[in-house]
């Protein structure tokens, strides 16, 4: 029992498994009419953060961020989990590559 805990803690520390146990439900971002809601989201610095992107449009979107170094295609009417960080304080832009004119957002890390 105890050794299991040590192993899990060790793997978490190494970042080898996503912190499904450690983190909460995560932060939800909804895509609706090719816009992010919320378009600005504040998350804590220095830890892994779970983003759940819920695409409620019928069309797919590619969640992309050069700053966060993430890109993920999300089909219509589906949710994707995206882990980011640990990040240093600052602002990190993200956008929807398939509808870049409207789908713009920002992650504020504090």
Partner 1 sequence: MLGAAVIVFREILEAALIIAIVMGASRGVAGRGNWVLGGVGVGIVGSVVVAALAGTILEAMDGRGQELFNAGILLAAVVMLAWHNVWMSAHGRALASQMKKVGHDVSAGMKPLSALALVTLFAVLREGSETVLFLYGLTASGTGGLALVGGGMLGLAAGAAIGWFLYRGLLSIPIGRFFSVTGWLVLFLAAGLAANAAGFLNQAGLLPALSMQVWDTSQILSQQSWFGTLLHILIGYHDRPLGIEVVSYVVTLTVIYILMRWVDPSSTRSGGAHRQTSGEKGARNYS
In the complex, which residues of this chain contact partner 1 (CB under 8 A)? 14-18, 20, 34, 57-62, 66-67, 69-76, 78, 80-83, 87-88, 97-98, 101
Rounded to a whole number of angstroms, the minimum distance from the CB of residue 51 to partner 1 is 11
Sheet with 104-109: list strands edge to edge: 40-43, 104-109, 90-96, 61-65, 70-74
2: tokens are: 């105890």
Cβ-based nearer residue to partner 1, 2 or 88: 88
Cβ-based nearer residue to partner 1, 2 or 94: 94
Rounded to a whole number of angstroms, the minimum distance from the CB of residue 12 to partner 1 is 11
Rounded to a whole number of angstroms, the minimum distance from the CB of residue 2 to partner 1 is 25
- Please give the sequence-ordered ranges of beta strands (E in DSSP) within 1-110, or none if there are none: 27-32, 35-37, 40-43, 49-55, 61-65, 70-74, 78-84, 90-96, 104-109
103: tokens are: 């789908």
Query: Furthest-apart CA pair in the chain: how many Å?
Result: 53
Rounded to a whole number of angstroms, the minimum distance from the CB of residue 14 to partner 1 is 7
Cβ-based nearer residue to partner 1, 1 or 13: 13
Cβ-based nearer residue to partner 1, 42 or 66: 66
């Amino acid at each position: 029992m105890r050794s299991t805990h040590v192993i899990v803690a060790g793997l978490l520390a190494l970042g080898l498994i996503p912190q499904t146990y450690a983190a909460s439900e995560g932060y939800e971002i909804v895509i609706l009419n090719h816009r992010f809601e919320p378009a600005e989201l504040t998350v804590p610095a220095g830890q892994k953060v779970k983003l759940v992107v819920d695409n409620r449009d019928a069309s797919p979107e590619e969640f992309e961020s050069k700053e966060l170094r993430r890109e993920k295609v999300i089909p219509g009417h589906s949710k994707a989990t995206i882990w980011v960080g640990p990040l240093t304080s600052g602002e990190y832009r993200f956008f929807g590559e398939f509808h870049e004119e409207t789908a713009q957002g920002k992650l504020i890390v504090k």
